[in-house]
Amino acid sequence: MASLQDIRRRIDSTKKTSQITSAMQMVSSSKLAQIQKHTSGYLDYANHVEAIVAHLAFAHLLDKQNGDAIPFLTQRPIQTTAILVITSDRGLVGGYNNQVLKQTDLLMQEQKLTKDNTVIFAIGGKGADYYVKKGYTIAFEDRDVTDVPRFWEVSELVKEITKQYAAHKFDALELVFNHFVNRLQNQVLNQQVLPIRAENFKRDNNGNLLADKYKDQPISYEFEPAPESLLKAVLPQFAQSLLYGAILDAKTAEHAASANAMQAATDNARDLISRLELKYNRARQAAITTEITEITGGMAALQ
């Protein structure tokens, strides 16, 4: 049986752990509030870009373009698939990383992707290390992304992806990341970003495009310069906005997962402290009872 000193030592150690996890939970909550504020501003820009592309889609302008001239629209045979995997650099985020890696492995299994026809773009060390160990080609990785990433921080990765797609280095881009639903819930999403398809546009619960405010308007364009020049400028921005938006979304989910994991750890530590204190008090009472019994027995022997 553990001595009173051992139990006391465990109580003190657990209290220190509880203080650390509680502080980490507050830090993660603060980061979550910061990135939510930043993301709300960025979404205004992303929604405007999406509305422009959706408006062009309603005008059937995308259908009329030569896919060879505008590679982001090209529905070419898929020989090589790229996957952008967004994870964290560190642990202490609950099942955040495992969910993403499990979904990525499932995607590969469903599409029969192998080391020979798959390239990995990785944001976060956990995903990069996981697929390096499995022998996959890492085309680009970005570690130590800040808590509230700005576009210029990840622009090299985002632009490299769109550049390689335009150069036919791969034929489709899949994106796997944790979507922030609310403070207590994340959802793993898998979506094909490139080539740009109707599925890329956000829809409501009824399946209607969120840009449907244009659907009842007569759509007619006069272009200066040519439509091809406009699309060459707009479509890369749309693809990049999808990728950067996913990075912000995943980082938001990461902070929420970290806050929840630290809150759970703090609660568990407090429960353990309560049990240890109860055990300590019982052991102390037993020790006192033993001492009283010994004193009483000694007095009786002297009489």
| pLDDT tens per residue across span 47-58 | 777 777 776 665
pLDDT mean over 10-27: 89
Query: Is residue 178 in a domain?
Result: yes
User: Which of 293, 257, 279 has the alpha carbon at shortest distance from 35?
Assistant: 257
Q: Model confidence over 63-91: pLDDT tens digits? A: 555 555 566 776 778 888 999 999 998 88
List the 81-86 sheet strands across, edge first: 137-142, 118-123, 81-86, 172-182, 185-194
**Alpha-carbon span 57 to 235, nearest angstrom:** 11
Query: Is residue 13 in a domain?
Result: no
> What average pLDDT does the structure give for the chain?
80
Domain count, the chain: 1
Residues 6+ apart with CB under 8 A from 265: 17, 21
Q: Model confidence over 99-146: pLDDT tens digits? A: 999 999 999 999 888 888 899 999 988 999 999 999 888 888 888 888
Query: Is residue 283 in a domain?
Result: no
Domain, as residue range, for 94? 25-260
Band of residue 208 on the pLDDT scale cut at 50, 70, 90: low
Q: What is the CATH number of the domain that holds 121?
A: 3.40.1380.10
Query: Is residue 273 in a domain?
Result: no
**Alpha-carbon span 174 to 192, nearest angstrom:** 4
Query: Is residue 39 in a domain?
Result: yes
Residues in the chain: 303
Q: Is the pLDDT of residue 182 over 60?
A: yes
Unique residue bearing structure tokens 């995943």 = 250
Query: Is residue 271 in a domain?
Result: no
- Residue 59: left (phi > 0), alpha (psi -120 to 50), or beta? alpha
**Alpha-carbon span 141 to 125, nearest angstrom:** 8
Low-confidence winner among 13-27, 134-148, 169-183, 288-302 (lowest mean pLDDT): 288-302
**Alpha-carbon span 78 to 111, nearest angstrom:** 11
Query: Is residue 10 in a domain?
Result: no
Whether 242 contacts 193, CB under 8 Å: yes
For residue 163, the model assigns a pLDDT of 84
